[in-house]
């Protein structure tokens, strides 16, 4: 009895041995103690040891049933493990919708730019017609009148006097428009630019006409023909060659209007700083207008000086024909009420049978 272990009673499961796959596994406190010893003695490799089966397919079947199947490409429309359903072409549909939205936005921007460009061209064309309309109404002094007003000045001194006075007048116009824009009002900015360009153009047209008188190069023809010649000189920024008279119909047909629109557009862009607020635009406008008028006058003067006719060699010229409704060039920039059409007078086209603002 002492050399033999007594068998444990059958009714105590905590002391029974369990055979699993050829390996004895004890349950109860002793089994837990042995399990902890095996865990401490087994090196931790980070891998789960595969269970050993003693060639019993029935024993391997439960483990195989618990092993997840390898990942495979989900069939279209099949639910994934999280429950989401893969819809065929969903990503392509979203990309197409984004492309459509972007294309519509680009088309809207392009149409807006086209409308703005058309409006700008229409405004420039209307302003060109306005300058063509006021050109014959600018009063011009002939040579005899100038010599009576400045009896002690020669041709060059008289030209200097005229240029200085015109530069001061355009500087005043620029300062006045800049002062009007002291508190910027966006709807009024196009009218302010149009008034400044029209007023400066009238002053410079008067200067160009009187410089031609000083240098003895009066263009031949009627009042309207001379006005077209002076307008061509202002547009091209050069003196007139009186040996090549310009036809009124040809000049007003295509080339002059195109060049006039280009000159107006250039003046408009150049005058944009005059609209700066807080009287900064007034100072900028005065300086820029004085500089531009002086530069234009010197270019025209250099062409006229090369073809000048001395006063002693001039034939007796008749007095210049004066316009029936002359305008004051500086009056183009004065503040006036809005017309019945809602446009400023500088932008309103004259209608047949309707008096213009200068006539009233």
Q: What is the pLDDT of residue 247?
A: 47
Q: Are 105 and 178 in contact (CB under 8 A)?
A: no
- C-alpha–C-alpha distance, residues 299 and 351, integer Å: 36
What is the spatial distance between Cα 51 and Cα 94, in angstroms, rounded to a whole number? Answer: 49
* DSSP 3-state of 57: helix
Q: Which pLDDT tens digit goes with each residue over 73-121?
A: 444 444 444 554 555 555 567 777 787 878 878 878 777 766 666 666 7
Which residues is 25 bridged to in the sheet? 18
The confidence score (pLDDT) of residue 89 equals: 52
pLDDT of the chain, 360 residues: tens digit per residue: 444 444 444 444 444 444 444 455 555 666 666 666 665 655 555 455 444 444 444 444 444 444 444 444 444 444 444 554 555 555 567 777 787 878 878 878 777 766 666 666 777 888 888 999 999 999 999 999 999 999 999 999 999 999 999 999 999 999 988 888 777 777 788 888 888 999 999 999 999 999 999 999 998 888 988 998 899 899 988 887 766 655 444 555 677 788 888 888 888 888 888 888 878 888 999 999 999 999 999 999 999 999 999 999 988 888 988 898 888 776 655 544 333 333 444 434 444 444 444 443
Element (H, E) at 98: helix 90-134
The rounded distance, in Å, linking the Cα atoms of 138 and 209 is: 10
pLDDT value of position 191: 86
Give the alpha-carbon dihedral of 75, 78, 80, 83, to 10 degrees.
170
Closest to 203 measured CA to CA, from 293, 272, 288: 293
pLDDT in tens, 100-112: 878 878 878 777 7
For residues 174 and 23, what is the distance between their CA atoms, to the nearest angstrom? 107
User: What is the DSSP secondary structure assignment for residue 4, as one 8-state letter?
Assistant: S
Q: CA-to-CA distance for 37 and 1, rounded, in angstroms?
A: 31
């Amino acid at each position: 009895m002492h050399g033999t272990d007594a068998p444990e009673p059958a009714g105590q499961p905590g002391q029974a041995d369990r055979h699993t796959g050829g390996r004895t596994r004890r349950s109860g406190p002793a089994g837990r103690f042995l399990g902890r010893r095996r865990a401490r003695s087994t090196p931790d490799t980070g891998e789960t040891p595969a269970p050993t089966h003693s060639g019993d397919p029935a024993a391997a079947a439960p483990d195989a049933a618990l092993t997840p199947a390898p990942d495979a490409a989900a069939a279209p429309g099949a639910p994934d493990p999280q429950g989401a359903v893969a819809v065929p072409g969903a990503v392509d549909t979203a990309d197409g919708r984004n492309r459509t939205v972007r294309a519509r936005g680009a088309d809207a921007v392009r149409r807006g730019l086209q409308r703005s460009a058309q409006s700008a061209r229409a405004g420039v064309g209307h302003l060109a017609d306005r300058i063509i309309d006021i050109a014959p109404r600018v009063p011009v002094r002939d040579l005899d009148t100038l010599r009576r007003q400045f009896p002690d000045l020669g041709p060059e001194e008289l030209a200097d006097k005229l240029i200085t006075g015109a530069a001061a007048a355009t500087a005043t116009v620029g300062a006045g428009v800049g002062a009007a824009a002291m508190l910027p009002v966006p709807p009024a900015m196009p009218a302010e630019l149009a008034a400044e360009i029209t007023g400066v153009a009238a002053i410079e047209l008067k200067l160009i006409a009187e410089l031609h008188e000083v240098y003895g190069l009066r263009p031949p023809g009627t009042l309207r023909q001379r006005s077209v010649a002076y307008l061509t000189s202002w547009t091209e920024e050069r003196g007139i060659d009186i040996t090549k008279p310009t036809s009124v119909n040809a000049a007003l047909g295509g080339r002059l209007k195109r060049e006039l629109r280009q000159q107006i557009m250039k003046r408009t862009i150049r005058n944009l700083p005059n609209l700066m607020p807080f009287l900064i635009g007034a100072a900028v406008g005065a300086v820029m207008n004085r500089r531009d008028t002086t530069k234009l006058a010197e270019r025209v003067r250099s062409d006229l000086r090369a073809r000048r006719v001395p006063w002693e060699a001039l034939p007796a010229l008749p007095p210049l024909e004066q316009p029936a409704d002359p305008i004051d060039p500086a009056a183009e920039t004065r503040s006036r009420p809005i017309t019945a059409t809602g446009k400023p007078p500088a932008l309103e086209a004259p209608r047949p049978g309707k008096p213009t603002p200068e006539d009233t």
